[in-house]
Structure 1
Amino acid sequence: MTEAYLVGAGQSDFGSFPEESYRSLFREAYETTLDSVPAGMDPDAIDEAVIGTLGVGGRQLGLSGPAVTEHVGLHGIPVTRVENACAASGYAVRQAVQAVKSGMADVVLAGGVEIMTDVSGDAVRYWLGVSGETEWERLSGTTFAGVYAQMASAHMAEYGTTSEQLSHVAVKNHANGAKNPHAQLGFECSLEDAMNAPVVADPLTLYHCCPTTDGAACALVVSEDVVDKYTDDPIRVAGVGAASDRVGLFQRDTYTGVPASKSAADTAYEMAGVAPDDIDFAEVHDCFAIAELMAYEDLGFCERGDAGEFIESGATRPDGEVAVNTSGGLKSKGHPIGATGAGQVAEAFNQLSGDAGDRQLDAPTRGLTHNVGGSGGAAVVHIFEREQEVGR
């Protein structure tokens, strides 16, 4: 199979934009993505598109993919809409990679979009709830925060994880997000702020939970046959892994990890021929602070049960052994469900291209993105690798 390369990626601002539509936000992300291609790209070169979205509020449930691509002038190409809850556009990127590696396309646009802030809080909670097990979780009154609160409580009981360690996730990600001009909550918070905030679902406080967000993001994946047209410093899609699991938390064997994340990561590491220690930075799915801690363990960055100590040690700060969520993560950057996975890829592209501004790491060569649907019913992991040696 041909190799797949990431040659461009971008996003809209993430936040609350009552004056915007999902079409206009997608256009912003799409145009930013085209502008990010080092040698430029003629839109006529795009062979197909894959678009991720949940459709919060019932928005354009039918043909939402063509609805945004025709708005930006991509007429006639095949367009597929992907819905895998919060992992929708992560899976869209995966499908773009598959299309390229299979030889069916040379240039594929993958993206995602979501509008979440123009409906009531009750409506948002409803649409978030359908990403879990409907009958026994949502209809019985369990919120998304409530599901992750159960996971946090279990992790605390089994491994001694503390509220202070959860709060370190918020402090780190807000510090990173304060340097990201696209972030919805682009401000710093203190450990005391995070620990003393109002309780949302015990033991999770407000600062342990990501916001609801409007936004869009895109990525361009191309084959080895055409990559030289677009860049002389290629970023290879070195590994891809995906997995699914039981949708309901109560149906799984563990509350203290996300088995689909581990399976997806194992597949991606094997394909890339690397180990967790080879990863310079990662964008992980921190919809709640406990989700980031579990991701450390599921992705192999630390041993099972050691995530709390790992965050406290500073290992995941920008100057740590593996920088996690330099974008600010879902916690600070925001979580527009259908756009989140592609937004993670945009951060990986910027870091590996040296275009991450004030958040730029020191010469990274390999990054990972980790996107989870629901509380773990689906997960997808990508590993991106800068092919040229740093300094060339």
Structure 2
Amino acid sequence: MTDFGTVPNRTAATMAREAAGRALADADLRAVDVGMVFLANAFAGTMHGQESVRGQAWLDGTELAGVPLVNIENACAGGSSALALARTAVAAGDVETALVVGTEQLSHADRRRAVRAMIGAMAQDRLPELRREFGLDDDSSPFMHVYARYADEYAASSGATAEDFARVAAKNRAHGAANPRAQVREAISVEQVMAGRPVVGALTVPMCAPIGDGAAAVVVSSAPSPRSVELRSCVVGAGVRGRAEQVVADTAKRAFHRAGVAPGDVDVVEVHDAASPAELIALEQLGLAEHGEAVALVRAGKTGIGGSVPTNPSGGLISRGHPLGATGAAQIVELVEQLRGESGTRQVDGARVAVAENAGGYLGPEPAAVTVSVLVR
């Protein structure tokens, strides 16, 4: 993956090329070895006018030009959805090796453009209804309001407090400080998180993922090397409007079943913490903690590196950053390196089983798209 951050001097194309080149070099492969490319991006249409053929345009002039390519848009879950399609193509025998690339550039001179793009991850015919529901004006993004509502509901049912959400953020900021590719690399205290600028409800700025740019890439192959990690399952789920939020739990159950492992076997996990309360909720939806237990885990420090459920050792979306189309692939990069024992001071000792949860869009109250992946070394 590339370094994540706010890099207006780069483009989705240059970052995609860099990540793809790094992934192929890591796998000791060349472009000629790739049978198909799956490229994920969410907002290049709104941000930069590239509505279609994004991958073909961005890889033009490289050795990957002409390799069969499919473009994927699935909101924040695009990178992991591309991974699911690549795994299917390889498992079906259509290609021996596929390349997944996720890339996103959210930097723009017009700072409101990214907000307008994110509104596109909701059903447009329901926008007036959603704006009324969250009390928003016409130029505001509802997503942090969504996460604030999740936070309130979770707090009411579990006893979690704003300080617990701050503990999650501080833990992920500490992890991100040790990640040389993270967008935010400054550790802060729980007290500093609590004192951050308010966003909505219990959320402060340090509890929320920053807007940023970056790319990540993954090679999927049926011809493993000694450094390979097995992608046991990669399962996509779709939310249903009006249904009590269960799509993550349902998708996780299918992913664990297909992988032949149980939640209790997991050594390290990356979850979609677009806001810090989402980490606690996701741990319980994945079955890594019973309802309400995640609060006790974070209070006891067990979700940090060295704990019993090390979560988001990359720093998560809060610190590593959240360039949407790249996020799901970046989670896999982190977990592959963890399972290889290549994560330096962020290393989870003895990690052999890993899980990633990546969600995107909003139908209300469920996310629109979810992917859960299980990896084994």
- Matched AA of 2:347: Q
Instruction: Identify the range of structure 1 (83-92 vs 361-370) with the bigger mean alpha-carbon deviation.
Output: 361-370
Residue 13 of structure 1, aligned match among 3, 16, 21: 3
> 8 Å contact 1:130–1:138 — kept in the other structure?
no
Shift of 1:17: 0.7
Specify the alignment match of 2:318 in structure 1: 331
Instruction: Identify the range of structure 1 (328-337 vs 113-122) with the bigger mean alpha-carbon deviation.
Output: 113-122
Shift of 1:15: 0.2
The TM-score, its normalising length taken from structure 1, stands at: 0.89
Q: Deviations over 1:174-217 (max 9, x none)?
A: 11000111001011010001111111011111111000010000
1:274 aligns with 2:268: no
SS at match of 1:323: coil
> 8 Å contact 1:23–1:71 — kept in the other structure?
no
**Aligned partners of 1:289, 1:282: CA distance in 2, in Å?**
15
**Aligned partners of 1:274, 1:342: CA distance in 2, in Å?**
22
- Matched AA of 2:237: A
**C-alpha RMSD of matched pairs (Å):** 1.5
1:130 aligns with 2:92: no
Q: Deviations over 1:61-97 (max 9, x none)?
A: 1101212232432122211111110000110001000
Shift of 1:113: 0.5
> 8 Å contact 2:16–2:103 — kept in the other structure?
yes
1:382 aligns with 2:373: yes
Write out aligned runs for 1:62-81 (5 A): 62-81=52-71
1:292 aligns with 2:263: no
SS at match of 1:187: coil
Specify the alignment match of 1:170 in structure 2: 169
Specify the alignment match of 2:73 in structure 1: 83
| Closer, same or farther: CA 336–71 of 1 in aligned 2, 3 Å | farther
| Closer, same or farther: CA 196–71 of 1 in aligned 2, 3 Å | farther
**Aligned partners of 1:52, 1:174: CA distance in 2, in Å?**
27
SS at match of 1:314: coil
**Aligned partners of 2:251, 2:31: CA distance in 1, in Å?**
32
> 8 Å contact 2:47–2:114 — kept in the other structure?
no
Residue 354 of structure 1, aligned match among 341, 355, 370: 341
> 8 Å contact 2:47–2:106 — kept in the other structure?
no
**Aligned partners of 1:287, 1:95: CA distance in 2, in Å?**
24
Specify the alignment match of 2:147 in structure 1: 148
- Matched AA of 1:91: S
Residue 231 of structure 2, aligned match among 237, 244, 255: 237
**Aligned partners of 1:259, 1:238: CA distance in 2, in Å?**
22
Specify the alignment match of 1:7 in structure 2: none
- After the TM superposition, which parts of structure 1 deviate over 4 Å for at least 4 consecutive aligned residues? none
SS at match of 1:321: coil
> 8 Å contact 1:27–1:71 — kept in the other structure?
no
SS at match of 1:341: helix
> 8 Å contact 2:47–2:108 — kept in the other structure?
no
> 8 Å contact 1:264–1:381 — kept in the other structure?
yes
**Aligned partners of 1:319, 1:14: CA distance in 2, in Å?**
25
| Closer, same or farther: CA 181–267 of 1 in aligned 2, 3 Å | same
* Structure 1 spans left out of the alignment, 5+ residues: 1-10, 387-392
Specify the alignment match of 2:36 in structure 1: 48
Specify the alignment match of 1:3 in structure 2: none
- How many residue pairs match? The answer is 362
The TM-score, its normalising length taken from structure 2, stands at: 0.92
